[in-house]
Amino acid sequence: MQKKAKTIFVLGIVLGGVLLLSLVSVGYFVVRSRTHVKLYQEAMAAWEVQDIARARSLFLQVLKHDANNEIATVKLAEIAESEGDWYSAANYRHQARKLNELNDDYAESYLHAIRMGRFFGLISGYLKNLKRERTLEEQAMYHYCQLMIYKDRKSADEWLSLLKEKPEIGDTPYGKLIKVMFFSREETIGNIFASLDELSTSKDYPFVQEVLITRAQVERILKRAEEEEKIFKTAQEGNYFTVTPLLGGMYTHYGWFDKAADTMLPYLKRFYQASLAMNIGEFMIFSEKYDQLDTLLEEVNSHKDRKSILAGYYIDALKAFHDNDFQRLSTAMEVIGQGDVNTPLAALMRLAVDIQNNDIKRLEVDYTAFQHMPKFLDLHERANALVLLFLEGRLQAGEPLDNLAGLVTLASNDKAGIHSDTLKNAELVSKIQKGILTEAELEKILQSYDNEAGGLAAAVSFYYFKKNYTKVLEMFDRLRKLSENIPLYTTHQVIDSLIRLGRQEEALPSFRMLLTDYPDAENIRAFWRYAVLYHDREAFHFLAALPETLGTRLSAVTDEAGQKHLQAQIAYAKSYVPFCEVAVLFQDGNTKEAVATLQSLETDNEDLFFYKADKFRVSEHLEEALSTFRRISPRYVDYTYVLINISEILCDLERLDEALRVASAMWKQYPDGPDVLNCYASVLRKKNLWEEVLDCVVPAQVSREGNEVLFDTWVWAISARIEKNFGLNRLDLVEDDIRTLLRFDRDNQHAKDFLKRLDERQKQLDADKKE
């Protein structure tokens, strides 16, 4: 009995708990339901007083808690329609249709939204489904579907085929509109406009919109841009969402990029799309509205999706391109990648990055892709000019023609491409590099140039590569009398010739004049390198004063683009000023102050980075030198010397294993570089790895005159092998190595000593045999 009572007691507790939970659950759902009801009531109240922003926010909260709330969905559709946001309206109308398929008003509203938005794919899909479900009473809608499909994707012949199958559709409004579109060439302009005027009296606004757009297209055929603009603006007043992009497209077609930017920027703020933001950025560049790029970038950065992040990088790339900041441009374009943005302007910027990085293979790929793009404004002309300058510069700098053959072919195949003199320069440089051009042959080639000045510029290059620097100056004097337009690479060759002839006092004024006239990054960098190489105190002072010198010109530059370009050059020149001051401190013997100043300086300029690291090294701050060298980008034009320095510093720090890893990887990447080989062999010597030295250094690569350090390393390695073979009594191998040494250095004392030892060993062996 007691056990039974206990059981009943337990059951009572359990049932009580269940009942309590049930009551709690009911209470929870009652409260939750009340909360939803309150949200819904507040949303409807906001809608009634047309507080649209609050109504939208509250209806969205209602849907968040109840995704199937039909009225909230419909109200959000109505709000989107009131704002002309047909994309959102279509989405909400579609959702409402799924919630209540029997409501014909939802179906008609959905169709109205996708027609107003001109969502051709949705229209086609909707009508096909509708046709499967029931007979279409409104044949005009089927015709509209065909209009959208055939207008953009099919030919007039296919429309004729449909017309034969269903001739009755030719008399519907859409059928008549299609006839205007496809048969306009057979009609007079007067009849076309009369037909369009008649069709525009329709009460169906989406149809009238199509009539207006068709009329605008006829005006384009007639090349009446102002009339076309008026028609689009009329259509825009009634349907901002749909027509504004068409108006922007019209402005783009005519190259009116200032109007395109002004039209599309407000549209972007209402109906944001990352791809549109990138287009607007290009409009701003083409119309020189550079000051608006920051506003555009701010709008894009307020969105955090992947496409917006890419758009932000692209707009930053446009700014960098305008500012001639190729380091920033390179970084941005690297993030964007090839597939994300593929407009002609993006392709042009990729060419600029390739040229900046001296990446010939990449340039060939991108230049090929660019030539297959539709010609856009003067971008093809600018691209060809960029490639032309790059080719000329590389040819004159001694780049083997074989490396440039692909680019030369691409450029010469383009109708607006490479100039004939450049092709002749390519041929000339190729023969110079191969050492097969005589002065008599040069004269014949010069006579074939389009003008005498071009031929003399080529002659300067010829003698420069021949290292006949006196003749370089002679040809230059003749060239200067004929033309004031001296190519920059010719000026550089003349300056270098003066320096090599020990006439720095003449070279410096020419260099200073060049820098004053053309203060671009390349010339500033070349002048800095000259100053560092020759420890030219006067050059450092001149470069430090250059920003102020250039600043005096600003007031004389009237156009905004010119001012910004000069300001960018001044900013770049300023980055060298503190390093010029450090260089003078080192020359004055103030090493401690110079190092302390260097430690406080930051820069993203690779040349200045290299200088900073090098000065840390020579002042025996090895750890700082090592960390600074390691921060230099692998894209740096002289990166092999960065690796050489890193390897040598690691040797100085007795970290030979690390030094060997750096040197070995560098040698595998640049096996033909004599300085690289020298570094690698030196580390192997420090590690006492003579066999590895002999594996990588062949006798033909060394001579005491060409590279004494490498020659000594090779002699050390072959001497080690001789010693080993002496110990093993392999005297025939010893003799071979001694003769190799003597062949490459007849007076080599090591070889003579070994030869003496070999004779003594041979005599000893002969004596042993007699005994």
Report the percent of the chain where pLDDT is more than 70: 80
Give dist(CA 545, CA 587) in Å, integer.
18
Residue 187 DSSP one-character state: S
Q: What is the pLDDT of residues 222-240, one digit of tens each?
A: 888 889 899 889 888 888 8
- Is residue 703's pLDDT more than 60? no
- For residues 321 and 299, the answer to whether their CB atoms sit within 8 Å is no
Average pLDDT over residues 576-588: 93
Q: Residue 717 burial (CB < 10 Å; 0-12/13-18/19+)?
A: buried
- pLDDT at position 400: 67
- pLDDT at position 9: 44
Burial 741-761 (b: 16+ CB within 10 A, else e): bbebbeebebbeebbeebeee
- Is residue 179's pLDDT more than 90? no
Give dist(CA 437, CA 439) in Å, integer.
7
Residue 582 pLDDT level (bands cut at 50, 70, 90):
very high
- Is residue 133's pLDDT more than 80? no
Question: Which range among 17-21, 287-291, 546-550 shows the weakest confidence by mean pLDDT?
Answer: 17-21
Q: What's at 383, amino acid-wise?
A: A
Question: Of 138, 159, 135, 165, whose CA–CA distance to 147 is shortest?
Answer: 159
- pLDDT at position 89: 81
- pLDDT at position 362: 87
- pLDDT at position 615: 93
Q: What is the largest CA-CA distance in the chain?
A: 132
The total of other beta-carbon atoms located within 10 Å of residue 97's CB is 20
Kindly state the helix (H) or strand (E) to which residue 360 belongs, with its residue range: helix 360-371
- Is residue 733's pLDDT more than 60? yes
Q: Where are the alpha helices (DSSP H) in 49-138?
A: 52-65, 70-82, 86-99, 104-116, 120-133
Give dist(CA 126, CA 396) in Å, integer.
65
Torsion angle of C-alpha atoms 93, 98, 104, 107, degrees rounded to 10: 40
- pLDDT at position 617: 92
Average pLDDT over residues 641-662: 92
Q: Which residues contact 532 (CB under 8 A, 6 or more apart)?
A: 583, 611
- pLDDT at position 35: 59
Q: Which of 322-336, 507-521, 582-596 has the highest mean pLDDT?
A: 582-596
- Is residue 116's pLDDT more than 50? yes
Q: What is the pLDDT of residues 141-157, one digit of tens each?
A: 555 555 554 454 455 56
Nearest 5°: CA angle at 163, between 162 and 165?
A: 65
- pLDDT at position 204: 76
Tokens, residue 592: 């401690």
- Cα-based distances in Å from 513 to 15, 516, 546: 101, 5, 11
- pLDDT at position 344: 86
- pLDDT at position 186: 54
- Select the more confidently predicted residue: 339 or 273: 273
Chain-centre distance for alpha carbon 190: 50
| Number of residues written out for the chain | 771
Give dist(CA 550, CA 565) in Å, integer.
12
- pLDDT at position 31: 41
* 303 SS3 class: coil
Q: What is the pLDDT of residues 59-70, one digit of tens each?
A: 888 777 777 888
- For residues 256 and 247, the answer to whether their CB atoms sit within 8 Å is no
Give dist(CA 656, CA 99) in Å, integer.
75
Question: Of 109, 111, 130, 137, whose CA–CA distance to 122 is shortest?
Answer: 111
pTM of the model: 0.51
Burial 101-139 (b: 16+ CB within 10 A, else e): eeeeebbebbbbbbbbbbbbebbbebbeebeeeeeeeee
Measured between its terminal Cα atoms, the distance across the chain in Å is 128
Q: Which residues contact 755 (CB under 8 A, 6 or more apart)?
A: 738, 742
- pLDDT at position 128: 66
Q: What's at 748, amino acid-wise?
A: N
- pLDDT at position 403: 74
**What rounded mean pLDDT belongs to the chain?**
78
- pLDDT at position 424: 64
Tokens, residue 451: 């003008």
- pLDDT at position 2: 46
- Is residue 511's pLDDT more than 80? yes
- pLDDT at position 620: 92
- pLDDT at position 704: 54
Tokens, residue 656: 């030979």
Q: What is the pLDDT of residues 411-433, one digit of tens each?
A: 766 544 445 566 666 666 666 66
Residue 612 pLDDT level (bands cut at 50, 70, 90):
very high
- Is residue 682's pLDDT more than 70? yes
